[in-house]
Amino acid sequence: MHVAHTPKQWRVAGQTITLDRTYIMGILNVTPDSFSDGGQYASVDSAVARACEMQEQGADIIDVGGQSTRPGHTPVSPDEEWRRLAPVLQAICGKITVPVSVDTYYPEVARKSADIGVRIFNDVTGFRDPLMRQYAAQYGVGCVIMHDLDLDQSADVCAELRAFYAARTAECIADGIAPACICLDPGVGFGKSYEQNLAIAARFAEQCYGDYPMLAAASRKRVIGLSCGNPPADQRVSGTVAYHTACMLGGANLIRVHDVSEAVQAARVIDAVMGQQTAN
């Protein structure tokens, strides 16, 4: 099913982003153990250089993470996560012109990040923690609410996602988060079977909820590998583009990727195709 993009808006710490094209969120992991790029940007200099490179390649947002959330990962403490994040966030906030996002589920890490200048909280636990919701409301940041619940393998993933979005957005709004600050992420690879992860892309239009922007984030993940012979994670660029293309055709407004230049090129083509479809 082809669904034309409609311009949605997303407010991130006082700035309103009009999503009249597909936005690209570039991934910057300052971790030793992320599944595909662990250790590559562990130094501050290398992380800053990568952030600048992604901006030059066309990234609209830089999403910085301080711990792996891959299957089977060992969580790190908030203090350790902040030790990794702080020097990088201090170095890139103000140096790059696009908004900086922090990928964390620790409220104190999120709060300290906002104090530095981070404008988006990307929480893989979907703002489950009331304190995370409190800080998000206080700072007026953009909020990426991701679905991370374990689903029964027989469950209809789109119905489950819509029910989750309804419940969690209501909680967030009740705790003071402005609806305009909310973006939704179906959580590819989190608590879902291979078939359910495929269904997210195949039926993306069915899970779009209200007027909230939708983010697709499948870059180099296991669902990509299992679909194409399981190459190493850093060799799943084309598969990632294919998966995200299906999501964009279904209405995804943003995609989160490791490989920015390839994603930008694909997104601009899809935007052009969808624009022609709308014109006709």
**Is the CB of residue 34 less than 8 Å from the CB of residue 68?**
yes
Measure the CA–CA gap between 258 and 53, rounded to whole angstroms.
12
pLDDT at 71: 65
Q: For the chain, what are the domain ranges? A: 8-279
CB 24 within 8 A of CB 255: yes
Query: CA 251 to CA 248: how far, in whole Å?
Result: 5
CA-to-CA separations, 170 to 7, 182, 214, 230, 266, in angstroms, rounded: 23, 11, 17, 39, 34
Strand partners of residue 64:
28, 102
pLDDT tens profile 48-95: 999 999 999 999 999 999 987 766 667 899 999 999 999 999 999 989
Tell me the CATH number of domain 8-279, given options 3.20.20.20, 2.40.50.140, 3.30.413.10, 3.40.50.1370.
Answer: 3.20.20.20
pLDDT above 70: residue 35: no
Where residue 3 falls among pLDDT bands split at 50, 70, 90? Answer: very low
Query: What residues are annotated to the active site?
Result: 221, 256
